[in-house]
Amino acid sequence: MIEVSGLTKRYVGHTAVDDVSFSVKKGEIVGFLGPNGAGKSTTIKMLTCYLTPTAGTATIDGLDVERDSIQVRRRIGYMPENVPLYLDMRVSEYLRFRGALKGLGGRKLTAAVDEAMEICSLVDVQRKIIGTLSKGYRQRVGLADALVHKPELLILDEPTNGLDPQQIRLFRDLIKDLGKRHTIFLSTHILPEVEMTCNRVLIINRGKLRASDTPKNLVRRRRQGGEVVVDIKADASAASQAIQALKGVTDVETEGVDGDWARLAISSKGKADLTERIHDLAVDQSWKIRELVQRDATLEDAFVDLVRKDGVSK
């Protein structure tokens, strides 16, 4: 559905997107992750024909974003990061206007607008002036706009930006549901959202693509090195030293001291079962244990690790 090869965008003295290649298959929900300024919106603007690439190519359904831009636009529904809405229009009026711009008319237009409002739960507010709606509802109008012409591919640039947790959850369910009918490419900062909705994640940093994998694999890859947390009745620095000497341990960090108790976070490499060794050591040293747990890595850890390796762009 999307084929990107060597895609590059250079601004004066600054490369925002640097030789990026990836593909998205029909039916996938792909999350596009990256810190602020990583190049997400720039990539998305090239895919949606709003920016011309400096180098490289991108095709949507086999159509080139530069050469066949009119046809490309027909196949995609794009929700930009700042949804440009006409604030003095009513919801249904605005969606009719947008649908007409996308080539719909007559009964088809009416049916399409009704369906988009139904999907995005806008039926109750269809007569309201957009300017009076809350942020959550405005985002819904933006999404309804993106899907009114029933495109195969939805490209959403931070669709949940600025929403409260409940609205984020509702939006997430909506996106999951839309994924049954559309291919979806969405950028976001919200990592649990990606873990819950996406089949695959692309991570971009400083304009370069750093990873492309399932959320599970990204986490698993990171978990090659695990982390164990232990809360023991012992002197923090003496206990740290003793634990540091255990095989496989790469780092011991004191997370906190509470009276006689010390809380240590222990990192290891490989698949060593550290909990058992730490337990044995504690018995050996007569330390009392209040807590001993293996801490699961999250997609956030994987993301932070990848991004930390090459620094963050300005």
Ligand X SMILES: Nc1ncnc2c1ncn2[C@@H]1O[C@H](COP(=O)(O)OP(=O)(O)OP(=O)(O)O)[C@@H](O)[C@H]1O
**Per rule CB under 6 A, is residue 313 in the interface with ligand X?**
yes
Angle between helices 215-223 and 299-310 (to 10 degrees): 70
Q: How far is the CB of 140 from ligand X (least distance, A)?
A: 20
- CA neighbor of 192 nearest in space, from 81, 82, 83, 303: 303
Q: Please state the φ and ψ torsions of residue 207, each to the nearest 5 degrees.
A: 80, -5
Q: Give 86's contacts (C-beta < 8 A, 6+ positions apart).
A: 94, 97, 130
- Binding of ligand X by 40 (CB under 6 A): yes
Identify which of residues 158 and 227 has a Cβ nearer to Mg ion in the complex: 158
Which range in 11-19, 178-186, 243-251, 290-298 contacts ligand X by CB under 6 A? 11-19
**Using the rule CB under 6 A, which residue among 5, 27, 28, 37 binds ligand X?**
37
Q: How far apart are CA 211 and CA 215, in angstroms?
A: 10
Site string for ligand X, 175-214 (x = CB under 6 A): ----------------------------------------
- The one of Mg ion, ligand X, none whose footprint includes residue 38, by CB under 5 to 8 A per kind, is ligand X
Instruction: Report, in Å, the least distance between residue 193 CB and ligand X.
Output: 14
CB distance 211 to 218 below 8 Å? yes
Residues 16-55, one symbol each (x = binds Mg ion by CB under 5 A, - = not), give: ------------------------xx--------------
Query: Edge-to-edge strand order for the sheet containing 55-60?
Result: 14-24, 2-11, 55-60, 63-64
Choice from 29, 38, 156, 186 touching ligand X (CB under 6 A): 38
Angle at 33 between CA 82 and CA 296, to 5 degrees: 135
Residues in contact with Mg ion by the rule CB under 5 A: 40-41, 81
Chain positions contacting ligand X, by CB under 6 A? 11, 14, 16, 34, 36-42, 81, 313
